[in-house]
C-alpha cells in the first residue's frame, strides 16, 4: 500500500481520546492503578529498546512486582508499550492494535525513535514518531532507555 494511502487512512481514522491530564503526561488513568497489562508493539525498532524492556521485566528489575505485565493480545491489555519509529508497514497494524485495546487505556512510547524518530528520522520507510499515528500518554526518552526509566514510567501508572 502506498504511504500516501496509509497516511490518508490514518488521518481519517485518527483516534481521539477523552480529554485527560495535559499530554503527554507521566501518569495513566486512575482505573489502571495497581494492575497494568501491556501489549508490546515494535513499530520499527532496532531491538535495543526491546533488550531493555526484557531487562525491566526480567528477574533483576522484575516489573511484575509493581503490577505491570506483558500480555499477548491487545484485547487483554490496558495499554500499549510502543518501541521504534513507526514504519510504513507498521503504521496500520499499530493503529489497529490500539483500536483493539479496550478503554481506559494508556499508550507508552519507549525510546528516542518512538518519541522523535531518533537516528531514523528522514528514512524512506519512516512514517513518523508514534504520536503521529496514535495518541501518546507517557514518554520514556533514551536510546535506549535504562530499565529503571521504564520501571519508573510503569510505576507512574500502577502507583505501586
Give the binding site for ligand SF4 (CB under 6 A): 45-46, 48-49, 83-84, 111-113, 118-119, 143-144
Q: What is the DSSP letter of 60?
A: T
Query: What are the grid coordinates assigned to 124, written together?
Result: 524512506
Query: What are the grid coordinates assigned to 28, written together?
Result: 495513566
Nearer to ligand SF4, 15 or 51 (CB): 51
Q: Shortest gap between Cβ of 142 and ligand SF4 (angstroms)?
A: 7
Q: Shortest gap between Cβ of 124 and ligand SF4 (angstroms)?
A: 17
Q: Shortest gap between Cβ of 22 and ligand SF4 (angstroms)?
A: 24
Q: What is the DSSP letter of 66?
A: G
Nearer to ligand SF4, 10 or 86 (CB): 86
CA–CA gap between residue 114 and residue 49 (Å, rounded): 10
Q: Shortest gap between Cβ of 128 and ligand SF4 (angstroms)?
A: 14
CA distances from 96 to 29, 68, 100, 104 (A): 21, 23, 6, 16
Nearer to ligand SF4, 20 or 142 (CB): 142
CA–CA gap between residue 150 and residue 89 (Å, rounded): 26
Nearer to ligand SF4, 55 or 83 (CB): 83
Amino acid at each position: 500500500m502506498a504511504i500516501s494511502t496509509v497516511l490518508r487512512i490514518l488521518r481519517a481514522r485518527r483516534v481521539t481520546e477523552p480529554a485527560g491530564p495535559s499530554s503527554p503526561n507521566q501518569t495513566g488513568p486512575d482505573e489502571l492503578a495497581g494492575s497494568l497489562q501491556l501489549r508490546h508493539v515494535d513499530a520499527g525498532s532496532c531491538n535495543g529498546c526491546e533488550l531493555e524492556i526484557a531487562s525491566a521485566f526480567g528477574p533483576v528489575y522484575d516489573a511484575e512486582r509493581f503490577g505491570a505485565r506483558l500480555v499477548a493480545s491487545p484485547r487483554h491489555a490496558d495499554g500499549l508499550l510502543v518501541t521504534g519509529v513507526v514504519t510504513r508497514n507498521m503504521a496500520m497494524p499499530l493503529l489497529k492494535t490500539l483500536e483493539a485495546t479496550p478503554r481506559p487505556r494508556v499508550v507508552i512510547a519507549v525510546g528516542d525513535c518512538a518519541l522523535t524518530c531518533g537516528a531514523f528520522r528522514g528514512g524512506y520507510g519512516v512514517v513518523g514518531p508514534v504520536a503521529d499515528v496514535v495518541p501518546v500518554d507517557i514518554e520514556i526518552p533514551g536510546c535506549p532507555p535504562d530499565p529503571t526509566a521504564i520501571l519508573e514510567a510503569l510505576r507512574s501508572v500502577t502507583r505501586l
